[in-house]
């Protein structure tokens, strides 16, 4: 997107539906444009109006009445975009919205590109890059947890942590750069052991942030939960019970589910994406075999797996099944919950005995349920919540949800690893300085604060060079 700060942009800010709609305007000619098509009932000259004021009046094209409207005015820099801005609230007629937009464009406005208001806010210093990205996340949030993470990032939670790390690296880099300036005198401004300790600590914090991406991404997009088990153990019945609707086909005939069935469910403020899969067994049916292959792929991408078996199995058979499902998940090693279904087929004493023996053979969390009688489902929901690191959500500024941020943090970690290798192997300071600059650069990519003058400014602020 090419930003032209001398232009004034306009665009609808609300979707279809509802009684009212809003058109947003931003740029140097905002007050002139509003004044030419809006007549306030108070008779005030809009071009001279103060910011943070609201005015009722009429939108007119010459003498033709278009609509009653309310206009909210903002003076730069105290606006969302950091520019003169206005919001026109009018009746939500598509014709009225189109007519007002046509009038704005005819008077010199330019139709805004997608995201241009937020782009201007970033360019004008109203928010950093990660906060700008959080605007889209908070709009798209479809769970309480996703909203909480996006809101924390919008308020600068992640930005402040990244900036703190960046400032530490800038101080570190200033010492190294200073040594380069005095390289002919062979002067060291800090001992290598102390500098290594600093890098190790920063690298550890960076890696902690990067490791949070798996959880953050799952919360942002929904936590994938795969329901896996042999044919006819009640996987589809369990899904229908969790969703409280007949979503999946239930039949006594084994192999009914031949493809994955996906649905979403909110549990405790988290969005779970449940995936009912084909039964795990060898089959000569090509279509069913394809379904099993898809099941295995889904298992490898899952965050949580509900391994469903029957209560009529022995504890040893249940433990062996749990072990086989865990192996199928591959290197990701999601949280596996053993769901012992059809407990209505055995007595209460038998169920307690099987679950007690299973606990001695398998260290996975397990719950006995009856999809037929809707028993044990509340306990299963509690286990689902416990399977997610909900405690980490209490500190949302330390959770990364954006893949771009994750890649940048990995690059920071790699750069700092090279710095440590350089200290250990006695690599020249000039090469170490290059890796430190790289780490600072990648941190700057997250917030958009990239400036080659940063290190120089840090040196001048801390040392009296040239006195």
Q: What is the pLDDT of residue 2?
A: 58
Percent of all residues in the chain with a pLDDT value above 90, rounded to a whole number: 35
Q: Edge to edge, what strands does the sheet with 335-341 contain?
A: 261-267, 270-276, 223-229, 304-310, 335-341, 366-368
**Which position has the higher pLDDT, 391 or 73?**
73
Q: What span, in angstroms and rounded, lies between the C-alpha atoms of 264 and 283?
A: 29
Give me the mean pLDDT over the 390-407 stretch. Answer: 76
Is residue 105 domain-resident? yes
Is residue 101 domain-resident? yes
Q: What span, in angstroms and rounded, lies between the C-alpha atoms of 14 and 22?
A: 6
Q: What span, in angstroms and rounded, lies between the C-alpha atoms of 424 and 353?
A: 58
Q: What span, in angstroms and rounded, lies between the C-alpha atoms of 418 and 439?
A: 10
Q: 100 with 70, same domain?
A: yes
Least confident among 174-188, 215-229, 423-437 = 174-188
**Is-contact 433 173, C-beta < 8 A?**
yes
Task: Quickly state the pLDDT bin for 286 (edges 50, 70, 90).
Answer: very low
Q: 28 with 72, same domain?
A: yes
Q: How many CB atoms lie within 10 A of CB 111?
A: 12
Q: 19 with 100, same domain?
A: yes
Is residue 134 domain-resident? no
The upper half-sphere exposure of residue 373, i.e. CA atoms within 13 Å in the direction of its Cβ, equals: 11
Q: What is the pLDDT of residue 129?
A: 83
Q: 115 with 162, same domain?
A: no
**Which position has the higher pLDDT, 277 or 413?**
413
Is residue 415 domain-resident? yes
Q: Domain end: 393, 421, 448, which one?
A: 393
Q: What span, in angstroms and rounded, lies between the C-alpha atoms of 278 and 390?
A: 30
Q: What is the pLDDT of residue 393?
A: 61
Q: Name the residue among 33, 57, 61 with its Cα closest to residue 47.
A: 33
Torsion over CA: 63, 65, 68, 73 (sign): negative
Q: What is the pLDDT of residue 119?
A: 84
Q: What span, in angstroms and rounded, lies between the C-alpha atoms of 195 and 203?
A: 12
Tens-digit pLDDT profile for residues 208-225: 999 888 888 888 888 888
Q: What span, in angstroms and rounded, lies between the C-alpha atoms of 62 and 465?
A: 66
* pLDDT of 56 over the 80 cut: yes
Q: Is 0.75 surpassed by the pTM of this model?
A: yes
Residue 223 gets which letter from DSSP? E
Q: 339 with 284, same domain?
A: yes
Q: 229 pairs with which residues across the strands?
A: 308
Tens-digit pLDDT profile for residues 334-375: 889 999 999 999 899 998 999 999 999 988 899 999 988 888
Biggest CA–CA distance in the chain, Å, is 89
Beta strands 335-341 and 223-229 are unpaired
* pLDDT of 404 over the 70 cut: yes
Is residue 162 domain-resident? yes
Q: What span, in angstroms and rounded, lies between the C-alpha atoms of 398 and 430?
A: 33
Is residue 297 domain-resident? yes
**Which position has the higher pLDDT, 27 or 447?**
27
CATH number of the CATH domain containing 93: 3.30.1360.120
Q: Average pLDDT over the chain, rounded to whole?
A: 82
Q: 263 with 377, same domain?
A: yes
Is residue 139 domain-resident? no
Residue 362 gets which letter from DSSP? -
Task: Quickly state the pLDDT bin for 280 (edges 50, 70, 90).
Answer: low
**Is-contact 235 224, C-beta < 8 A?**
no
- 228 three-state secondary structure: strand
- 275 three-state secondary structure: strand
What does the block give as tokens for 386? 């416990």
Tens-digit pLDDT profile for residues 290-344: 655 676 777 777 888 998 999 999 999 999 988 888 888 777 778 899 999 999 9
Long-range pairs, 428-435, Cβ under 8 A, ≥24:
429/176, 429/179, 429/180, 429/183, 430/180, 432/176, 433/173, 433/176, 433/177, 433/180
* pLDDT of 457 over the 50 cut: no
Q: What is the pLDDT of residue 454?
A: 45
At 265, give phi and psi (nearest 5°): -150, 135
Least confident among 188-192, 225-229, 333-337 = 188-192
Helix axes 429-447, 403-425, angle to 10 degrees: 170
* pLDDT of 170 over the 90 cut: no
Q: Domain end: 343, 361, 393, which one?
A: 393
Q: 122 with 148, same domain?
A: no
* pLDDT of 126 over the 80 cut: yes
What does the block give as tokens for 293? 């292959």
| Burial class of residue 252 in the structure, from the number of CB atoms within 10 Å of its CB (0-12 exposed, 13-18 middle, 19+ buried) | exposed
Least confident among 30-34, 35-39, 196-200 = 196-200
Q: 56 with 104, same domain?
A: yes
Task: Quickly state the pLDDT bin for 89 (edges 50, 70, 90).
Answer: very high
Q: 194 with 308, same domain?
A: no
Query: How far is residue 454 CA from its own chain's centroid?
Result: 29
What does the block give as tokens for 203? 């690298």
CATH number of the CATH domain containing 166: 1.20.120.430
Q: 271 with 331, same domain?
A: yes
Q: How many CB atoms lie within 10 A of CB 185?
A: 7
Torsion over CA: 91, 93, 97, 103 (sign): negative
State which of 33-47, 324-338, 415-429, 431-445 shows the largest mean pLDDT: 33-47
Residue 1 gets which letter from DSSP? -
**Is-contact 168 197, C-beta < 8 A?**
no
Q: 357 with 225, same domain?
A: yes
Q: 191 with 321, same domain?
A: no
Residue 230 domain boundaries: 218-393
Q: Domain end: 350, 378, 393, which one?
A: 393
Q: What is the pLDDT of residue 123?
A: 85
Beta strands 366-368 and 270-276 are unpaired
Per the omega criterion (within 30 degrees of 0), is the bond before 77 cis?
yes
Q: What is the pLDDT of residue 193?
A: 75
Is residue 133 domain-resident? no
Percent of all residues in the chain with a pLDDT value above 70, rounded to a whole number: 83
* pLDDT of 391 over the 50 cut: yes
Q: What span, in angstroms and rounded, lies between the C-alpha atoms of 326 and 317?
A: 14
Total count of domains within the chain: 3
């Amino acid at each position: 997107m090419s930003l032209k700060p001398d232009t004034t942009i306009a665009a609808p800010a609300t979707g279809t539906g509802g009684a009212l709609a809003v058109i947003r305007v931003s740029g140097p000619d905002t007050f002139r444009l509003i004044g030419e098509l809006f007549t306030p009932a108070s008779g005030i000259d809009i071009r001279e109006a103060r910011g943070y004021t609201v005015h009722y009046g009429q939108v007119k094209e010459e003498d033709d009445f278009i609509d009653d409207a309310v206009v909210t005015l903002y003076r730069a820099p105290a606006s969302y975009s950091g520019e003169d801005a206005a919001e026109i609230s009018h009746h939500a007629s598509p014709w009225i919205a189109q007519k007002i937009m046509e009038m704005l464009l005819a008077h010199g406005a330019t139709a805004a590109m997608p995201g241009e208001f937020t782009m201007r806010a970033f360019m004008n210093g109203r928010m950093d890059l990660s906060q700008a990205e959080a605007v889209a996340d908070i709009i798209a949030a479809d769970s309480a947890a996703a909203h909480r993470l996006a809101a924390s990032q919008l308020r600068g939670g992640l930005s402040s942590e990244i900036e703190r790390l960046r400032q530490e690296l800038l101080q570190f880099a200033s010492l190294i750069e200073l040594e380069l300036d005095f390289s002919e005198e062979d002067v060291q401004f800090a001992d290598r052991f102390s500098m290594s300790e600093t890098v190790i600590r920063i690298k550890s914090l960076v890696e902690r942030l990067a490791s949070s991406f798996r959880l953050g991404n799952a919360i942002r997009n929904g936590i994938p939960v795969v329901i896996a088990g042999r044919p006819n153990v009640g996987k589809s019945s369990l899904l229908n019970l969790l969703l409280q609707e007949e979503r999946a086909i239930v039949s006594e005939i084994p192999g009914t589910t031949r493809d994955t069935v996906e649905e979403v469910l909110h549990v405790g403020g988290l969005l779970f994406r449940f995936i009912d899969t084909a039964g795990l067994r060898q089959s000569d049916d090509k279509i069913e075999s394809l379904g099993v292959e898809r099941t295995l792929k889904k298992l490898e991408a899952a965050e949580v797996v509900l391994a469903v078996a029957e209560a009529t199995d022995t504890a040893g058979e249940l433990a062996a099944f749990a072990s086989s499902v865990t192996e199928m998940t591959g290197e990701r090693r999601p949280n596996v919950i053993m769901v012992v279904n059809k407990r209505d087929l055995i007595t209460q004493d038998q169920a307690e005995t099987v679950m007690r023996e299973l606990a001695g053979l398998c260290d996975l969390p397990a719950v006995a349920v009856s999809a037929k009688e809707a028993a044990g489902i509340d306990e299963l929901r509690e286990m689902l919540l416990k399977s997610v690191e909900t405690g980490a959500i209490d500190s949302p500024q330390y959770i990364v949800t954006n893949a771009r941020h994750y890649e940048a943090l990995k690059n920071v970690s790699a750069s700092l690893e090279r710095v440590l290798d350089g200290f250990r192997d006695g690599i020249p300071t000039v090469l170490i300085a290059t890796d430190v600059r790289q780490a600072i650069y990648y941190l700057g990519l997250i917030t958009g604060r990239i400036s080659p003058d940063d290190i120089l400014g840090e040196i001048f602020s801390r040392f009296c060079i040239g006195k």
